[in-house]
Amino acid sequence: MFQSIAGKANLEKSDLEPALKALKDRLMTKNVAEEIAEKLCESVAASLEGKKLASFTRISSTVHAAMEEALVRILTPRRSIDILRDVHVAKEQRKPYVVVFVGVNGVGKSTNLAKVKENNLFPFNLFKILYVGVMMAACDTFRSGAVEQLRTHARRLQIPIFEKGYEKDPAVVAKEAIQEASRNGSDVVLVDTAGRMQDNEPLMRALSKLIYLNNPDLVLFVGEALVGNDAVDQLSKFNQKLADLSTSSAPRLIDGILLTKFDTIDDKVGAALSMVYISGAPVMFVGCGQSYTDLKKLNVKSIVKTLLK
């Protein structure tokens, strides 16, 4: 690790290996999926191989710097989603702006859906500041208590909710909710869906139908920061199933990520990296608690620093 090769010509793979191995281990202790940690190290190796080492620099610091750069690049969104602007565009077209919350079981879809309205952190309080009318749509028609859960939030937040009880086709309930929103002049519809395992074909098909039928403005994947290696499979399969099971020629995929339970993981922040790396979608919101105001923006700098510490 402390080996220095001032004077040596070009960096070879074998020079880099010990430093990269240590870095891979560090990423994994921070809960980055093994596959992602491995791929990252490979790409850092590829970027350094054959390069000359600046004199008096250690290999480990060179590798560290290259990794840092790669992490910042991956975590910095390539495209930004301006919800505010999009809500206004939809409003001008006299259509409600529709957000669908999707993800596996118990990650925090319903709770964080309720946070998107009432938040003190700019710019997430946008719905409140602009007096935009928000409506919730209870499209988890399966899990016990799901409708009552959302109804409770709606009551506390004093916003309207569209619900049709249990056992209805969620795609149809969503459709009716959006129609109702158009009628009553709501600007935003937040659609709650049931949690589902990414391998569960019938449930993934039903989700794909809901999205195809309603063509939402934003498909928000909700994933918990606690998740380990499964993060990779969750994101890739949701995307893959949405693509494969859609009857549309231009299927909708995950637009953004809402990362929850960030308050439960200490420095094990790696799931953020796994999710973004595998999907290319940005982390748009970070859930960091169980009350309505616990929503933040991802701090890329601090994540990168924690990952490398």
Partner 1 sequence: MVLAQLGGSISRALQQMSNATVIDEKVLNECLNEITRALLQSDVQFKLVRDMQTNIKKIVNLEDLAAGHNKRKIIQQAVFNELCKMLDAGKPSFTPKKGKPSVVMFVGLQGSGKTTTCTKYAYYHQKKGWKPALVCADTFRAGAFDQLKQNATKAKIPFYGSYMESDPVKIAVDGVERFKKENCDLIIVDTSGRHKQEAALFEEMRQVSEATKPDLVIFVMDSSIGQAAFDQAQAFKQSVAVGAVIVTKMDGHAKGGGALSAVAATKSPVIFIGTGEHMDEFEVFDVKPFVSRLLGMGDWSGFMDK
Element at 58 (helix H, strand E): none
Regarding beta strands 218-224 and 97-102, do their DSSP bridges make them parallel or antiparallel, or are they unpaired?
A: parallel
Minimum gap (Å) between residue 144 Cβ and ligand GTP: 8
Task: Please state, in angstroms and rounded to a whole number, the distance separating the CA atoms of residues 40 and 34.
Answer: 10
Q: Of the candidates 6, 49, 57, 145, which one interacts with partner 1 according to CB under 8 A? A: 145
The yes or no reply on residue 29 touching partner 1 (CB under 8 A) is: yes
The yes or no reply on residue 198 touching partner 1 (CB under 8 A) is: yes
Task: Please state, in angstroms and rounded to a whole number, the distance separating the CA atoms of residues 252 and 239.
Answer: 9
Q: Would you say 11 or 154 has its CB closer to partner 1? A: 154
Residue 222: exposed, middle, or buried by beta-carbon count in 10 A (0-12, 13-18, 19+)? buried
Backbone angles phi, psi at 176, to 5 degrees: -65, -35
The yes or no reply on residue 241 touching Mg ion (CB under 5 A) is: no
CA 191 vs CA 50, 116, 181: distances in Å: 51, 12, 12
The yes or no reply on residue 196 touching Mg ion (CB under 5 A) is: no
CA 97 vs CA 84, 136, 178: distances in Å: 10, 12, 9
* Residues 283 and 130: beta-carbon distance below 8 Å: no
Minimum gap (Å) between residue 244 Cβ and partner 1: 16
The yes or no reply on residue 143 touching ligand GTP (CB under 6 A) is: yes
The yes or no reply on residue 279 touching partner 1 (CB under 8 A) is: no
The yes or no reply on residue 108 touching ligand GTP (CB under 6 A) is: yes
For residues 54, 58, 62, 63, the Cα torsion angle rounded to the nearest 10 degrees is 150
Q: Minimal CB distance to ligand GTP: which residue?
A: 195
Q: Of the candidates 30, 109, 153, 196, which one interacts with Mg ion according to CB under 5 A? A: 109
- Residue 89: how many CA atoms within 13 Å on its side-chain side? 7
Q: Would you say 62 or 110 has its CB closer to ligand GTP? A: 110
Q: Of the candidates 43, 125, 263, 308, which one interacts with partner 1 according to CB under 8 A? A: 263
* Interface with partner 1 (CB under 8 A): 25, 28-31, 33-35, 104-108, 110-111, 114, 142-153, 156, 197-200, 224, 226-231, 233-234, 237, 261, 263-266, 268, 270-271, 290
* Chain residues that interact with ligand GTP, rule: CB under 6 A: 103, 105-112, 140, 143, 146, 194-195, 197, 260-261, 263-264, 287-290, 294
